[in-house]
């Protein structure tokens, strides 16, 4: 089995991989915590980057190379929504 190499923070911050999903949590008092999933088209793998982004622009852990990057795998689920007419 071939070793899978994670993309770098630089590749993700330069938008070299397409964004598949992004969630923002505003619980950090200086800004937001971002969880973003990127798809690498060359091998079909997905990569999640978790980082903090301050509102004043001083902290951007993705641009600073401090984001935590892990490989993730998509899982489809069926959802039923009930609505009134």
Q: Where do the domains of the chain lie?
A: 9-72
Mean pLDDT of all residues in the chain?
Answer: 92
Q: What pLDDT, in 10s, does the model give residues 31-62?
A: 999 999 999 999 999 999 999 999 888 889 99
Say if residue 1's pLDDT is above 70: no
pLDDT the model gives residue 59: 86
Closest CA to 11 of 43, 31, 39, 33: 39
Say if residue 68's pLDDT is above 90: yes
Query: Burial letters for 33-49: b for 16+ Cβ neighbours within 10 Å, e otherwise?
Result: ebbbbbbbeeeebbbbb
At 4, the pLDDT band (50, 70, 90 cuts) reads confident
């Amino acid at each position: 089995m071939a070793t899978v190499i994670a993309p770098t923070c630089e590749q993700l911050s330069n938008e070299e991989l397409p964004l598949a999903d992004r969630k923002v949590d505003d619980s950090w008092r200086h800004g937001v915590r971002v969880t973003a999933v990127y798809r690498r088209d060359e091998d079909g793998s997905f990569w999640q980057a978790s980082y903090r982004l301050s509102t004043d622009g001083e902290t951007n852990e993705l641009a600073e190379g401090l984001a935590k990057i892990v490989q993730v795998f998509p899982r489809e689920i069926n959802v039923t929504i009930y609505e009134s007419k």
